[in-house]
Amino acid sequence: MPRSSKALQQKPSSLTDDQGWTHVIRGAHNIRKPTKTPSLNDSPNISPAKVTEGQQRYAALWSSSACCHQLRMILEQEIPLTHNLQMDKCVCLGLGSFTDGRTSSKHQLATLTWMLGILSQKHTFQAVLFQDPAFTASDVAYLESLGHHVLESPLAFDQIDESTFLFAPHLEANVYAAALEKKVPALVVGSNVTELIGRPISSGVDEAQRVRENSIFCCFSDLTLSEPMPQYDRDTWCYYTNIYRRQDMRSERSCDHS
């Protein structure tokens, strides 16, 4: 029986470091959960119950869409036929604040929540981790009310491994590269890396950094299979977004970007 992220509410052991941060250690993944309130963006305080009410509308829009239906076929039929994906953790990067009026973030959260429900039929997610410096206190309170964890950047990057489902729509290229630099996750929803490799170099961009990012994206592309997200008629967020899956789940192949 798969464990939902709610099941993570059990009492973990913890460590407090010399700066006063409490790091929660959970199972094999040593997931660190900062319990000191990080410097969150100012915004009106919205209760988790109020956010839930709003999210229900986005969830209903999503689940009645053709995009949802097509994604279900991909997740339940297409990918399992060719790939024995193994996932035990979800990392969500750069969702943006969904209590700050951003519609795309609300749509993305509705899709992510739905995907976790579908994937949990076959996979046991030990943790669902979020990282975005733009989160408000209300975002954090809502995510934590669902049993998820919000990490301070850059802690979430270190949690990404071959058993991760990475949900990272429309990340800035440098943040996306940092997420993909060390390990190739099992499943990724994120920007089309081919578009990023071909992007023009604009002024003020460090060329060596750009070469490094392109090397990360090329390697990631080599080690995965991808297809475009089905298009969503209620929002534009699925544009330029792909679903990637690791090509060979048995191998720990990765790239050297040093």
CB of 112 to ligand SAM, least distance (A): 10
**Interface with ligand SAM: number of residues (CB under 6 A):** 20
Which residues between 174 and 193 bind ligand SAM (CB under 6 A)? 175
Among 2, 12, 117, 133, binds ligand SAM (CB under 6 A): 133
Closest to ligand SAM by CB, 43 vs 153, is 153
Instruction: Spell out the alpha helix ranges (H) of 74-230.
Output: 79-82, 103-119, 137-145, 173-180, 193-197, 207-222
CB of 92 to ligand SAM, least distance (A): 9
Stretch that binds ligand SAM, among 1-9, 17-25, 91-99, 212-220 (CB under 6 A): 91-99
CB of 167 to ligand SAM, least distance (A): 9
Phi, psi of 104 (to 5 degrees): -60, -40
Beta bridge partners of 90: 128, 165
CB-CB neighbours of 134 under 10 Å = 14
The CA distance from 132 to 195, in Å, is 23
Instruction: Draw the binding track, 138-177, toward ligand SAM (x: CB under 6 A; -: no contact).
Output: ---------------xx--------------xxxx--x--
Closest CA to 191 of 150, 242, 247: 242
CB-CB neighbours of 19 under 10 Å = 6
Instruction: Determine if 131 is a binding residue for ligand SAM (CB under 6 A).
Output: yes
Reply yes or no: is the peptide bond before residue 133 cis, omega within 30 of 0: no
Stretch that binds ligand SAM, among 28-36, 95-103, 117-125, 142-150 (CB under 6 A): 95-103
Residue with the shortest CB distance to ligand SAM? 94
The CA distance from 125 to 85, in Å, is 13
CB of 169 to ligand SAM, least distance (A): 5
CB of 177 to ligand SAM, least distance (A): 11
| DSSP class of 91 | E
Q: How far are the Cα atoms of 49, 125, 126, 131 from residue 134, in angstroms, in the given order?
A: 21, 25, 25, 9
Per CB under 6 A, residues contacting ligand SAM are: 93-96, 102, 104-105, 108, 131-134, 153-154, 169-172, 175, 237
